[in-house]
Amino acid sequence: MDCASEPTGFDYVGNCIRPPSEAGSILIQATLGCSHNKCAFCGTYSDKRFSIKDQAILERDLLFASKHCQRQRKVFIMDGDALIMPMPRWEWLLGEIRRQLPWVTRVGAYANAKAVAMKSDEELARLKELGLGILYYGVETGHPQVLKDIRKGASPQRLIDQGRRVRAAGMKLSVTVLLGVGGVERSLEHGRATGELLTAMCPDYVGALTLMLIPGTDMGEAYERGEFTLPDAMGMLRELREMIAHTDLQGGWFYANHASNYLPIKARLPQDRQATLELIDGALSGKVELKPEYLRAL
């Protein structure tokens, strides 16, 4: 490649989303959109259809990163469920990251149950060997009816089974759950069932976000029609308390410090459970101040 054709930046198309913990990572957009893209609450990838980007585009991105991103130690592969890429593309990409960005210590990506299920145990282990060190796994809820309502496309047991396979392959597993997704009607049921699912799956990390309704999504439109009622701040806290009370990890971390949350929480479970429940109780009784509404964001 001659100097005239060298890239001047990364090739990003549409909305580009990454986990908060990947804020300082090199972001490589290897796929566009989400292969599922049916979740009732999500409008993230409404601007594009799912596809796998051309290898030539990724080659230019890696060249740019090799010249201009030598301080970053992590790479995050976008978009929504990049794990679904076929193994030959993954093997090439991880091999090129290792060759061109030898200072990188970890690669991460989003995944859903379908994408994990499409990889054999041997393939997951191979991805770990090549440098894929963490998967961010969207679960949202452990409640079977709520999973159907939000069109997640997986049962609680399928989510548990595929999450366990990620950990068995040696990769870190970071699970996302969504406060409020069961509405007022199933709030505490959702919290309890999700805690039980997390206990059965036993991820390394849990990130609890608070549902913020997006206009134009199915759930947002149901809210506008009066068919879905979102818990208020106190309801969200009670739901979070129920979830943590029923979550028993083996030294994993439970975070609720996303910009959408009313009460920032960082707890190692089970040892920090009681102190965390007491903190939530303090917020419920008005002794602990909550984040004001205008500071909350997606």
pLDDT tens across 188-244, in order? 999 999 999 999 999 999 999 999 999 999 999 999 999 999 999 999 999 999 999
pTM of the model: 0.94
Backbone dihedral region for residue 140 (phi beyond 0: left; psi -120 to 50: alpha; all else: beta): left
Residue of 203, 90, 220, 202 lying closest to 136 (CA atoms): 203
The pairing of strands 26-29 and 31-32 is unpaired
In this structure, what DSSP letter does residue 204 have?
S
Question: What structural domains does the chain harbor?
Answer: 3-290 (3.20.20.70)
Q: What tokens were used for 33?
A: 């959109």
Q: pLDDT exceeding 70 applies to what percent of the chain? A: 98
Q: What is the pLDDT of residues 119-168, one digit of tens each?
A: 999 999 999 999 999 999 999 999 999 999 999 999 999 999 999 999 99
3-class SS of residue 7: coil
Q: What is the pLDDT of residues 239-267, one digit of tens each?
A: 999 999 999 999 999 999 888 888 999 99
Cα end-to-end span (Å), the chain: 40
E strands within the chain?
Answer: 26-29, 31-32, 51-52, 74-78, 106-111, 132-140, 172-179, 205-210, 252-255, 266-269
